[in-house]
Amino acid sequence: MEEPAEVRISRGQRLLEAVREDLDLFGVAELEERIEVLQSEIARVRAQIDRKRAGRAAADALFSSRSA
């Protein structure tokens, strides 16, 4: 008997599923915890954006100084 193939979740799929959840099913404490988790995720995403921008700026500075 063959094992079922693993379902591959596309990038961002879990986030989309979370956004579509029915919030009426959650209690106040659960909603507050959800906000904390989302705020932590926002901070993590912003930090990644900052790292990427810094890397891009460093690369731009390196290559612009070579052509000058």
Look at the block and give the residue holding tokens 């909603």. 31
The whole-model pTM stands at 0.72
The three-state secondary structure class of 12 is coil
What are the pLDDT tens digits along the chain (68 aa)? 677 777 888 989 999 999 999 999 999 999 999 999 999 999 999 999 999 999 999 999 888 876 65
Half-sphere exposure of residue 32: CA atoms within 13 angstroms, side-chain side: 3
